[in-house]
Chains A and B, each alone.
Chain A
């Protein structure tokens, strides 16, 4: 079955710096890659996603890249702010007919003011 590995497990950056979180997946049939932000005590919130027919997607300070050949995808946050501090989860999903999502272990991001 699908396996998603996520690195690093913890990331600490200075406010204004960039943060990069990387994930790899094992199942080449995966075609949908969402990223979730989870603040303490709250639900996972979908912040950006990318589908397998696209190599890069950007939304303001957040961007995601996908390398299907290497089975890698990454989240990039630029100009980080303290409110970006949270746990971020990557996921890989097979979204054809059914829908099954496997999550990475999560990255705890600290943005220091």
Chain B
């Protein structure tokens, strides 16, 4: 499996501000994904980020709100922009490695 780290692990932010979450992998991977998990809920895919191309967003998620960078094969960032309390959630990065999918530890975001 892959070793995946995320920073920060948690944060408390004020509404209207932005937070950038970093995801680092110990292997070179083509596909990286960003998910959101509300408390007690399942995992919802925000977007797929492949190195060298624009991220592909799922229905209900837009680039202006969740801009993503993918500068190389081991790193990605997700920004949550102009935050509101509804953005409070756990954000997880994920990678595809050898035809299986693995998750980072998540970033717990609270917006006040």
Closest to A1 in B: B59
Q: What separation, in Å, do the CA atoms of A42 and B105 have in the docked complex?
A: 6
The answer on a CB contact under 8 Å between A32 and B105 is no
Complex interface bits, A31-44 against B, C-beta within 8 A gives 1, otherwise 0: 01010100000111
Given A34-B100, A43-B92, A89-B43, answer yes or no on A99-B31 (Cβ-Cβ < 8 Å).
yes
**Shortest beta-carbon distance from B44 to chain A in Å:** 8
Closest to A104 in B: B42
The answer to whether the Cβ of A101 comes within 8 Å of any Cβ in the partner chain is: yes
Question: For chain B residues 98-112, which have a beta carbon within 8 Å of chain A?
Answer: 99-106
Complex interface bits, B38-80 against A, C-beta within 8 A gives 1, otherwise 0: 0001111100100000000000000000000000000000000
Complex interface bits, B1-45 against A, C-beta within 8 A gives 1, otherwise 0: 100000000000000000000000000000101000000011111
How many residue pairs link A and B with beta carbons under 8 A? The number is 44
The answer to whether the Cβ of A100 comes within 8 Å of any Cβ in the partner chain is: yes
Given A43-B92, A43-B106, answer yes or no on A103-B101 (Cβ-Cβ < 8 Å).
no
Q: What separation, in Å, do the CA atoms of A101 and B92 have in the docked complex?
A: 14
**Shortest beta-carbon distance from B29 to chain A in Å:** 10
The answer on a CB contact under 8 Å between A34 and B103 is no
Closest to B31 in A: A99
The answer to whether the Cβ of B87 comes within 8 Å of any Cβ in the partner chain is: no
Q: What separation, in Å, do the CA atoms of A53 and B101 have in the docked complex?
A: 19
Neighbouring A residues of B92 by C-beta, 8 Å? 43-44
Q: What separation, in Å, do the CA atoms of A61 and B83 have in the docked complex?
A: 44
**Shortest beta-carbon distance from A45 to chain B in Å:** 8
The answer on a CB contact under 8 Å between A100 and B48 is yes
Neighbouring A residues of B96 by C-beta, 8 Å? 99
User: Which residues of A does B touch, CB under 8 Å?
Assistant: 32, 34, 36, 42-46, 49, 89, 93, 95, 98-106
List 7 additional A-B contacts (Cβ < 8 Å) besides A44-B92, A100-B45, A105-B42.
A44-B43, A45-B103, A99-B96, A99-B99, A100-B48, A101-B101, A105-B41
